[in-house]
Amino acid sequence: MRKGELYLIPNLLGEGDPKLYFGQELFDTIKNLTFFIVESEKNARRYLIKLGMETPIADLTFYVLNKHTDSNELTSFIKPLKEGINMGLISDAGCPGVADPGAEIVKIAHAQNILIRPLVGPSSILLGLMASGFSGQSFAFHGYLPHDNTQRSKLIKQLESRAKSEKQTQLFIETPFRNDKLLDELIKTLNKDSMLCIAADLTLPSETVISKPVAEWNRNKPSFHKRPAIFLIF
Q: What secondary structure does DSSP assign to 86-109, as a single string?
A: -EEEE-SSB-TTSSSTTHHHHHHH
Return the CATH number at 153: 3.30.950.10
**137 and 77 belong to one structural domain:** no
Provide the whole-model pTM.
Answer: 0.87
Q: Tell me if 10 sits within 8 A of 20, measured CB to CB.
A: no
d(CA 165, CA 44): 42
Return the CATH number at 99: 3.40.1010.10
Q: Which of 81, 97, 118 is the last residue of a domain?
A: 118
Q: Which of 118, 153, 187 is the last residue of a domain?
A: 118
Q: Tell me if 89 sits within 8 A of 37, measured CB to CB.
A: yes
Specify the length of the chain in residues. Answer: 234
Range of the domain at 20: 5-118
**173 and 146 belong to one structural domain:** yes
**Predicted confidence pLDDT, tens digits, the chain (234 residues):** 789 999 999 999 988 889 888 989 999 999 999 999 999 999 999 999 999 999 999 999 999 998 888 888 899 999 999 999 999 999 998 999 888 889 999 999 999 999 999 999 999 999 999 999 999 999 999 999 999 999 999 999 999 999 999 999 999 999 999 999 999 999 999 999 999 999 999 999 999 999 999 999 988 889 999 999 999 999
Q: Which of 118, 144, 169 is the last residue of a domain?
A: 118
d(CA 122, CA 202): 9
**130 and 229 belong to one structural domain:** yes
**160 and 95 belong to one structural domain:** no
Tally of structural domains, the chain: 2
**194 and 136 belong to one structural domain:** yes
